[in-house]
Structure 1
Amino acid sequence: MTMKPTAVLDTFAEHLATVDLPLPVDGAEQARGQVTSARSQLADHVVPRLESLDAPLLVVIGGSTGAGKSTLVNALVGETASRSGAIRPTTRRPVLLHNPADEPWFTGTRILPGLARVRAGGEAGGRGATTGAVSDTAIAGGSVPGGPAPVARPGPDEEAAGDVHPATSLELSAQARVPQGLALLDAPDIDSVAAGNRELARQLLRAADLWLFVTTANRYADAVPWEVLRTAAERDVRVDVVMNRIPDREGVSEELATDLREMLERHGIDVTHLFLVHETELDEQGMLPPAEIAELQQHFSALAADAGGRGRIARRTLAGAIAGLAGSAREIASHARAQEAERQRLRDEALAAFTGARERIDEALGDGSLLRGEVLARWQDVVGTGEFFRGVENLVSRVRDRIGLAISGRPAPSVAAEQALGTGLVHVVIDESARGAERADASWRATPAGRYLAEGRDLSRIPEGYREQVSTAIRAWQGDVLELVRSEGADRRTKARLLSLGVNAVGVALMVVVFASTAFVPTGLEVGAGAATAVVGQKLLETIFGEEAVRRMARVARERLSSRLDALVADRSGPFLDLLDELGDHGSADLLEADADALDQLAGTIREDA
C-alpha cells in the first residue's frame, strides 16, 4: 500500500501533541515556543502545501512598522484593499488578496486554519471594497479541514485605534488585478508594539511560499527585520526585497541598493530580486504613481504566468520548511531529554530521602533502641513471671536473677510487652518517615523545578490517617508472628510446651529476637539488660522449637516486617512520586529524533523534485 505523502508530517504532529515540557529548566520556555511554532507551521503551510502543490503561491508581504506595506499592496491592486495609517500598529488584521478564480483555495481551512475568514464587502475587483466591511453573504462557519472556515465579524478590539490585541481573523479580498496563481497577504508589523501581532506576523511568514520583505531607506539596517530575515534564510525561504521611500536624488538608489545587497550577502541571505521605490507624493486616493511599482507588478505577472517557476519556488520553500522542522524536532527532543533528566533527578532525591528513612528504621530495630524504656520494663515483666520459666528455669536462671522479678499484680504481662513493642515501632516509623519527607521537601525546594512541583503544597506534613495506617500494619505484623508461632508449634510435643508458656509470651520472645541485632554490643546498664533479655528470648525459643527452627522463624518474621515497613515508607513517598508521574508522557525524545530523520528524508525528496 502506498504511504500517504503527509504520513511523516501526521506522525510528527501526533508526537508534538504529546510533548510535555512543564518543568522550569534552562530553555524550557523557548522549547515550548518551538512546539507551538512547529504545530502551527505544519497546519498553516507544510501539510496543505504538500497536499496541494498546484495551489496558488502565497506571497506574504512583511516588514517593519510604517514601512509602507499596505500602501504598496493597495498600489498593486489599484484600490484601498488594506488599511494603513499613522496609528500603530497600522495593520491590525491580515488581509489576503486573491484572484476571484482562486477563491476556493482560501475560503476553507486549507491554510491558516486558526484564523476565521472575513470577506471584504463590494464586488470582487471593484472600487470601494473596504477593509473591515463584511458582506451579508459572509463565509459560513465550520472547522473541518478543507471546509469553510468560521465567520468572524470585526469587533471593537480590531477596529479600535491603538488596538493591542492580536487579530483572530483573516480578511479575504477578491481582486481581479491580482494575477491568477498568486495571492498576496498583507501581514502585521514584525516589530509591532503589540506582542500578539508580532507573533502573528511570524506565524504568517512561516506560512509563506515567498516572502516579500518591505523596508525603507532609513530603516533597512534595523535589528528586528534582520533577525527575521536570518530565520527565512535558515528555512531556505525565497525572499524578495522592496526598499521603499528612497530619496529621489541622483545616485542615492544605487548607493543604498549596493549597501543593502552587501548586508544581505554578509548575513548569508540570498535575495533573488531587489525592488526600489522612490519617495513620492501619493494621489488623492493614497496611491503610489504606477511607474514606481511597475517593475514589481511585472515580476508578479511573469511569476503567475510561469507555472513551473511557481512550483519550484513552492517546493524549495516547502523542503526548507520541512528541514527546519527536522531541526526543531531535534532541539525539542533535546529539551525533552533535559526534562526527563530533571524528573529523574527529583525522583532520585525523593527516593534517597525515604531510603535513608527506611535505613534508619532498620538501625533502630537492630541497635537495641526498641528494647529500652517501656519495652524493657514490660519484657522484664514477662521473663520475671514464674509461669514463663517453667521447664526452662535451669537455662535462664542467672539471667532472670540479674533482670529481676516482674512487679506483682500486673495482668497479662506478655500482652503489655507486645503492645509496648508495637507502640515503640510505630513511633520509630512515623518519626523517621517524617524526617524523610522533610529532607525530600527541602531538597526539592532548593531547585526551580522542585519548587515548581512543591508550590502550594506541604509535602512534609504527615498525612491524615497515616498514624493509624502504621499502627494497623504493625498490629498485622504482630499477628503474623503469633500465627508463625502457632504454626511452628503444631506438633504434639512442641504444642504442649507452647501452651504451657502461652502463645503471646513466646511470640513476644520472637519479636525481641527479630529486633535484636546479632552485632549488638551492649553499653550501659539499661542496654546491657536489653541485650540479656534478647539472649533469654533466643534461648527460650531454641528450647521450645530447636535452633534451626528459630533461625527460620526469625528470618520469616524479619522478611514480613521488612515488607510491611517497605510499604509504609513507600506510601509516605507517594505524594512526591505522584507529582512526578502526573507530569505526563515519557519517551517523546526518541520519537522526535526518529521524526527528525524522517523529515530530513522527506525534505531531500522534495528538493530532488524541485
Structure 2
Amino acid sequence: MNDKDPAALLAAVERLRDSADAVHLPLELDGTEGARGSRRELVQQLDDYVLPRLRALDAPLLAVVGGSTGAGKSTLVNSVVGDEVTRTGVIRPTTRASVLVHHEQDTRWFTDKRVLPGLARVAGVGEGGAADDPGSVRLVPTSSLPAGLALLDAPDIDSVVKANRSLSRQLLAAADLWLFVTTAARYADAVPWDLLREASERGTSVAIVLNRVPPEALEQVRLHLASMLREQGLGQAPIFTVLEVDLNRGMIPVKHVERLRSWLQSLARDARARSVVIRRTLSGTLGSLDGRAVGVADAVAAQAAAFAELEQAPRTAYAAALEGVSQGVQDGSLLRGEVLARWQELVGTGEFLRSVEAGIGRLRDRVAAYFTGRQVSSEPLGDAIQTGAAALITSHGQVAASTATRSWKTLPGGAELVREHPGLGKASPDLTERVERLIRDWQGEVLDLVREEAGSRRATARYLAFGVNGFAVLLMIVVFSMTAGLTGGEIAIAGGSAVLAQRLLEAVFGDQAVRSMATKARKALLGHVERLYEDERARFERVLEEVAVREHAAEELRAAAAGVEAAR
C-alpha cells in the first residue's frame, strides 16, 4: 500500500466490492461450495475491514482475540482490562457472540457501524438474550483500556456451533491485529494453524498468547511454538506466555498478564507504532485481494461454461426432434398403414395404379371421366393423416424431453437441476392435445391454400369431383411424398399413391402451382412444429433462468481486482 492516490485506491476497492457482491454461483459444480465461501469472505472482509480502514486510517486499532474452545480468551480479556467486560464460564461454547471492548472516547468509531456493518449493536455486558446472538456485537466502553485500541472477544474458531465458527472467521478477517490465544495442551491443533497460515498469507499482524503453561514445560513449549511460527512465515510474531495459575476472583493475577497489557497499552499510546501495525495488515490484505478475486472469477467462468452446456443440451435435443419430424414428413413413412388403407379406399388400387404403371401421360385424360358424377369422401383419409402426423410429432417431442434430461444428468451442474425438476424428463402433460390442435390448424391452412389457388377452377368437373376437402387431402399426400423411409413393396404402393395424388392435383392446378402449394404446406407444418418444440424447450429455459450466470461477471471481477493492484 502507498499514499500515491488514496481516493483512487478507495474507488478501486469499492468497485471490486460491488463486482464480487454481484457474483452468483448457483450451479452445483465441483469446488463451488468452497468458491461461494471465498466470495462471501471476500465481500465480508471488504465491508468489515478494508473499506472502513481505508476511509479512516486514524481510527482505533482493532485487536481481535481469537482461539480454540476453552483457551481462556474471555478470561484473558477481562484480566488485561482489569474488569469483567466479557462473560466467562465452563459451558462450551462460552463466547456465543462478539464482545467489543473500547475506551469511552472511542465509542463513536464503533456505534456508527464503521466496522462490521452487518452486525447489530448491543450495549453493555449483558447476561444473555441479545448478547448471545451471533448476529450482534456487544459494545462495552471502559476507561480501563487506553484510547486508540479496541479488543474484540470472538467466538471459538472450532466451535460446535457453525454460526459461531463463521462469525469467528469473519471477525478475524476484520482485525488490524489478531491476538491468537492457545494453550500448552492445544497449541499444535490443526484448525488454528489453518487460520494462522491464512493470516500469514494475507500479511495480517499476529501476536500469540500461550496460555495455561505449566512452569516446567514453559521453555520446551515456547521453543516448539516459535519453530512452528517460523515455518508458517510468522517468525516475527511476538509470543506472550501466561503460566498455569489459580485465578483471583475469576481473573489471572496481574503479574502474569503485565507484559501483554504493557505491550497493548504502548501500542495504543504510540500513534506511529499503531500506524505500522494497521498499515502492515491493510497492505497485506490489499495484496491478497487479486489472487482471491481471480479464484472467484475462475469459479464464475466455470459456472458460465457449465451454464452454456446446459443451455445447449435442450436446443440440440429439440433441434434433432424437429429434424426427425422434417424427415418423417418427407420420407414417405406417414404413407404406411392406416393412411395407405384409406387412400386405397379413396381411389382404389386397380384402375388408377395400372394407369400409373402404363404411363402418367395418359392419366390426365382419364381423370375427368373417372370422377364425373362421382363425389368421393376424403374424410377418413384426412383423419388417418392427422393421426399419423400427430403421432410422429408427439413421439419426437417426448424423445427430445428424455434426451435433454439425460444430457443434463451427465453435465456439470445438471443432475441437481433434474432432481429439483423431475417433470422435465417427460413431455408436457398436454402435449398430445396441443399436437392434435396443431394438426387441425395446419389442415385448415392447407384448405385455405387450395381455396386460394382454385379461383375460377371451382366450377370444373375435376374440381367438383373432389371438392376443396378432397384436394386438400391430396395435397397432404404430396407433402408426405418422398419414400426414403420405405422399402420393397411399400415403395411401390406409397410412391405410386403420392405420384397419383400429385398428378390429380396437377390436372386441376398445374405442376408449378402444386409444387408451390406443397412447399408452403410443408413449411407451414414444420413452422408450427418448431414453435411447439420451442414451447417445450422453454420448460428447460425457465429452469435455467433460476440459475442464470451473468455472462461478463468473471471479466468484470478480474478487471476490478487488477484495478486495485494498479492503485495500491
Give the TM-score of the pair, scaled to structure 1.
0.82
Asked if the contact 1:209/1:314 (under 8 Å) is kept, the reply is yes
Q: 1:132 aligns with which of 126, 131, 150?
A: 126
Corresponding residue for 1:315? Answer: 279
What is the CA–CA distance in structure 1 between the aligned matches of 2:485 and 2:110, rounded to whole Å?
87
Task: Report SS of the residue matched to 1:458.
Answer: helix
Is 1:460 matched up with 2:461?
no
Deviation at 1:515, TM superposition (A): 0.9
What is the CA–CA distance in structure 2 between the aligned matches of 1:169 and 1:520, rounded to whole Å?
75
Unaligned runs of 5+ in 2: 1-5
Task: Report SS of the residue matched to 2:89.
Answer: coil
What is the CA–CA distance in structure 2 between the aligned matches of 1:174 and 1:524, rounded to whole Å?
98
Gap change, CA 1:500 and 1:93, over 3 Å in 2: closer
Query: Once superposed, what is the RMSD of the aligned Cα atoms?
Result: 3.2
Corresponding residue for 2:142? Answer: 175
Task: Report SS of the residue matched to 2:548.
Answer: coil
Amino acid paired to 2:96: R
Gap change, CA 1:396 and 1:578, over 3 Å in 2: farther
1:35-74 alignment runs, 5 A limit: 35-74=39-78
Corresponding residue for 2:214? Answer: 247
Asked if the contact 2:28/2:416 (under 8 Å) is kept, the reply is yes
What is the CA–CA distance in structure 1 between the aligned matches of 2:198 and 2:488, rounded to whole Å?
77
Amino acid paired to 2:142: Q
Asked if the contact 2:97/2:131 (under 8 Å) is kept, the reply is no
What is the CA–CA distance in structure 2 between the aligned matches of 1:356 and 1:520, rounded to whole Å?
18
Amino acid paired to 1:198: R
Gap change, CA 1:3 and 1:473, over 3 Å in 2: farther
Deviates more, 1:292-301 or 1:411-420: 411-420
1:531-570 alignment runs, 5 A limit: 531-570=495-534
What is the CA–CA distance in structure 1 between the aligned matches of 2:234 and 2:342, rounded to whole Å?
88
Gap change, CA 1:156 and 1:99, over 3 Å in 2: closer
Deviation at 1:205, TM superposition (A): 0.2
Gap change, CA 1:396 and 1:464, over 3 Å in 2: farther
1:339-354 alignment runs, 5 A limit: 339-354=303-318
What is the CA–CA distance in structure 1 between the aligned matches of 2:338 and 2:532, rounded to whole Å?
24
Deviation at 1:347, TM superposition (A): 2.9
Asked if the contact 2:210/2:241 (under 8 Å) is kept, the reply is yes
Query: Residues 456-507 of structure 1: CA distance to partner in whole angstroms, max 9, x if unpaired?
Result: 53223443432232122222222332333333344x5698577445333332
Task: Report SS of the residue matched to 1:97.
Answer: strand
Identity of aligned residues (%): 42
What is the CA–CA distance in structure 2 between the aligned matches of 1:180 and 1:109, rounded to whole Å?
18
Corresponding residue for 1:155? Answer: 129
Q: 2:195 aligns with which of 207, 218, 228?
A: 228
Task: Report SS of the residue matched to 1:61.
Answer: strand
Corresponding residue for 2:544? Answer: 580
Q: 2:80 aligns with which of 60, 76, 90?
A: 76
What is the CA–CA distance in structure 2 between the aligned matches of 1:400 and 1:100, rounded to whole Å?
113
Query: Residues 436-458 of structure 1: CA distance to partner in whole angstroms, max 9, x if unpaired?
Result: 22233334345673332122532
Asked if the contact 1:76/1:177 (under 8 Å) is kept, the reply is no
Q: 2:267 aligns with which of 295, 299, 303?
A: 303
Corresponding residue for 2:335? Answer: 371
Corresponding residue for 1:142? Answer: none
Asked if the contact 1:444/1:450 (under 8 Å) is kept, the reply is yes
Deviation at 1:385, TM superposition (A): 11
What is the CA–CA distance in structure 2 between the aligned matches of 1:462 and 1:248, rounded to whole Å?
76
Unaligned runs of 5+ in 1: 121-130, 134-153, 159-165, 606-610
Task: Report SS of the residue matched to 2:425.
Answer: coil
What is the CA–CA distance in structure 2 between the aligned matches of 1:341 and 1:550, rounded to whole Å?
48
What is the CA–CA distance in structure 2 between the aligned matches of 1:199 and 1:54, rounded to whole Å?
28
Corresponding residue for 1:13? Answer: 17
Corresponding residue for 1:126? Answer: none
Asked if the contact 2:41/2:170 (under 8 Å) is kept, the reply is yes
Task: Report SS of the residue matched to 1:59.
Answer: strand
Structure in which a larger fraction of residues adopt helix:
2
Corresponding residue for 1:115? Answer: 119
Amino acid paired to 2:91: I
Deviates more, 1:265-274 or 1:43-52: 265-274
What is the CA–CA distance in structure 1 between the aligned matches of 2:433 and 2:218, rounded to whole Å?
87
Deviates more, 1:472-481 or 1:175-184: 472-481
Is 1:335 matched up with 2:299?
yes
What is the CA–CA distance in structure 2 between the aligned matches of 1:255 and 1:521, rounded to whole Å?
88
Deviation at 1:209, TM superposition (A): 0.7
Corresponding residue for 2:3? Answer: none
Asked if the contact 1:21/1:28 (under 8 Å) is kept, the reply is yes
Deviation at 1:157, TM superposition (A): 8.9
What is the CA–CA distance in structure 1 between the aligned matches of 2:105 and 2:458, rounded to whole Å?
102
Query: Residues 514-566 of structure 1: CA distance to partner in whole angstroms, max 9, x if unpaired?
Result: 2122x637534344211101111222333444434433333222222221111
Asked if the contact 1:336/1:589 (under 8 Å) is kept, the reply is yes
Amino acid paired to 1:478: Q
Task: Report SS of the residue matched to 1:271.
Answer: coil
Deviation at 1:329, TM superposition (A): 2.0
Corresponding residue for 1:30? Answer: 34
What is the CA–CA distance in structure 2 between the aligned matches of 1:208 and 1:170, rounded to whole Å?
14
1:153-552 alignment runs, 5 A limit: 154-155=128-129, 158=132, 167-249=134-216, 252-283=217-248, 285-384=249-348, 395=360, 412-446=376-410, 449-455=413-419, 457-490=422-455, 492=456, 496=460, 499-501=463-465, 502-517=467-482, 520=484, 523-552=487-516
Task: Report SS of the residue matched to 1:111.
Answer: coil
Deviation at 1:170, TM superposition (A): 1.5
What is the CA–CA distance in structure 1 between the aligned matches of 2:377 and 2:557, rounded to whole Å?
67
Asked if the contact 1:45/1:206 (under 8 Å) is kept, the reply is yes
Asked if the contact 1:188/1:200 (under 8 Å) is kept, the reply is yes
Asked if the contact 2:463/2:508 (under 8 Å) is kept, the reply is no
